[in-house]
Chains A and B, each alone.
Chain A
Amino acid sequence: MNIQHIRWLHEELEQWREEGLISEEQSHRLQAKYGFIPKEGPSWTRLITVLGGAALILLGIILLFAGYWYGFSPNGRFDWSLVILLLAIAIVGGGVWKAKPASMVAEAITVIYMAILTTSTLLVADTYYTGEHMGLYVLIILCCSLPIIYILDSALGMILYLIGVLGWSFSSHPLNAWVGPAAVGGLLLVAVPYYIRRFGQYQQVKDPLLVSVSWAFVGAIFGEVFFTLSTYEPQMNLFFISVLGAVTYGLGTLEKKITLLALPCKGVGAIALLYTIVEGTYISTWIRIGESSMVWWLWLCMLLSLGVAFLVLRRLVLAKRIESCIGLIPFVVFVCYIVTVSGATPILTSILFNAYVLVAALGTFIRGTLVKKVSLLNSSILTLIAMFGARFFDPSFTFVERGVSFLVLGIIVLGINAIYLWRKGKQRATMNQRVRQARRQVADVSALETPMETQVVTEETKTVESEVAMKEEER
Chain B
Amino acid sequence: MKYQKWIFFALAAIVALLSQFYIQQRYTTLLQGGAEYQWPVKVSRHIGWVPSDYLEIEFLGSYANWEGKQTPEVGHEVYVVVTPKQSGVLQVLSATDETPKDQEYIRANVKRFDHGVVEFSIPFNRVKVDLSKVDSKFYTNYRGTLIGTLKLRDGYGVVTGVYAKGVPLELATPESVVDQEKDSRVLLEKIGDTEQEKDDIIVIPNSN
Number of A interface residues in the complex (CB < 8 A): 41
Q: Please name the residue on chain A nearest to B79 by beta carbon.
A: A176
Q: Please name the residue on chain B nearest to A173 by beta carbon.
A: B75
Most chain A C-beta atoms within 10 Å of own C-beta, residue among B13, B22, B28: B13
- Write out the residue numbers on chain B whose beta carbons fall within 8 Å of the beta carbon of A173: 75
With both chains docked as a complex, state the minimum distance between the C-beta of B162 and any C-beta of chain A, in angstroms: 15
Contact of A129 among B17, B27, B75, B107 (CB under 8 A): B27
- Write out the residue numbers on chain A whose beta carbons fall within 8 Å of the beta carbon of B20: 78, 81-82, 85, 120-121, 124
- Write out the residue numbers on chain B whose beta carbons fall within 8 Å of the beta carbon of A86: 17
Contact with A along B55-86 (1 / 0, CB 8 A): 00000000000000000010111100000000
Whether the pair B23, A177 counts as a contact (CB closer than 8 A) is: no
Q: Please name the residue on chain A nearest to B75 by beta carbon.
A: A172
B117 at the binding interface (Cβ < 8 Å):
no
Contact with A along B8-27 (1 / 0, CB 8 A): 11011101110110111011
B53 at the binding interface (Cβ < 8 Å):
yes
A338 at the binding interface (Cβ < 8 Å):
no
Q: For residues 176 through 205 of chain A, which have their beta carbon under 8 Å from a beta carbon of chain B? A: 176-177
Main secondary structure of the interface of B (DSSP, over half): mixed
Contact of B97 among A127, A128, A176 (CB under 8 A): A176
- Write out the residue numbers on chain B whose beta carbons fall within 8 Å of the beta carbon of A143: 15, 19
With both chains docked as a complex, state the minimum distance between the C-beta of B68 and any C-beta of chain A, in angstroms: 10
Q: For residues 98 through 135 of chain B, which have their beta carbon under 8 Å from a beta carbon of chain A? A: 107, 109, 122-126, 128
- Write out the residue numbers on chain B whose beta carbons fall within 8 Å of the beta carbon of A175: 73, 76-77, 97
Whether the pair A131, B8 counts as a contact (CB closer than 8 A) is: no
In the complex, what distance in Å separates the CA atom of A125 from the CA atom of B26?
A: 10
Q: Please name the residue on chain A nearest to B27 by beta carbon.
A: A128
With both chains docked as a complex, state the minimum distance between the C-beta of A197 and any C-beta of chain B, in angstroms: 15
- Write out the residue numbers on chain A whose beta carbons fall within 8 Å of the beta carbon of B53: 70-71
In the complex, what distance in Å separates the CA atom of A69 from the CA atom of B54?
A: 13
Whether the pair B9, A93 counts as a contact (CB closer than 8 A) is: yes
In the complex, what distance in Å separates the CA atom of A324 from the CA atom of B48?
A: 53
Given contacts A81-B20, A174-B76, A175-B77, contact A131 B50 (CB under 8 A): no
Q: For residues 88 through 140 of chain A, which have their beta carbon under 8 Å from a beta carbon of chain B? A: 89, 92-93, 96, 117, 120-121, 124-125, 127-133, 137, 140
Whether the pair A140, B19 counts as a contact (CB closer than 8 A) is: yes
A331 at the binding interface (Cβ < 8 Å):
no
A304 at the binding interface (Cβ < 8 Å):
no
Q: Please name the residue on chain A nearest to B30 by beta carbon.
A: A130
Q: For residues 283 through 310 of chain A, which have their beta carbon under 8 Å from a beta carbon of chain B? A: none
Whether the pair A130, B124 counts as a contact (CB closer than 8 A) is: yes
Whether the pair B23, A121 counts as a contact (CB closer than 8 A) is: yes
Contact of B24 among A85, A89, A128, A174 (CB under 8 A): A128
- Write out the residue numbers on chain A whose beta carbons fall within 8 Å of the beta carbon of B128: 74
- Write out the residue numbers on chain A whose beta carbons fall within 8 Å of the beta carbon of B148: none
Q: Please name the residue on chain B nearest to A122 by beta carbon.
A: B23
Whether the pair B73, A133 counts as a contact (CB closer than 8 A) is: no
Whether the pair B15, A150 counts as a contact (CB closer than 8 A) is: no
- Write out the residue numbers on chain B whose beta carbons fall within 8 Å of the beta carbon of A174: 75-77, 107, 109
- Write out the residue numbers on chain B whose beta carbons fall within 8 Å of the beta carbon of A96: 5-6, 9
Q: Please name the residue on chain B nearest to A101 by beta carbon.
A: B5
In the complex, what distance in Å separates the CA atom of A76 from the CA atom of B173?
A: 30
B157 at the binding interface (Cβ < 8 Å):
yes
- Write out the residue numbers on chain B whose beta carbons fall within 8 Å of the beta carbon of A387: none
With both chains docked as a complex, state the minimum distance between the C-beta of A73 and any C-beta of chain B, in angstroms: 10
With both chains docked as a complex, state the minimum distance between the C-beta of A288 and any C-beta of chain B, in angstroms: 11
Whether the pair A176, B51 counts as a contact (CB closer than 8 A) is: no
A208 at the binding interface (Cβ < 8 Å):
no
In the complex, what distance in Å separates the CA atom of A173 from the CA atom of B76?
A: 7
Whether the pair B126, A151 counts as a contact (CB closer than 8 A) is: no
Whether the pair B28, A128 counts as a contact (CB closer than 8 A) is: yes
With both chains docked as a complex, state the minimum distance between the C-beta of B148 and any C-beta of chain A, in angstroms: 13
Can you report 8 A-B residue pairs in the complex whose CB atoms are below 8 A from each other? A81-B20, A86-B17, A92-B9, A121-B19, A124-B23, A131-B125, A147-B11, A151-B12
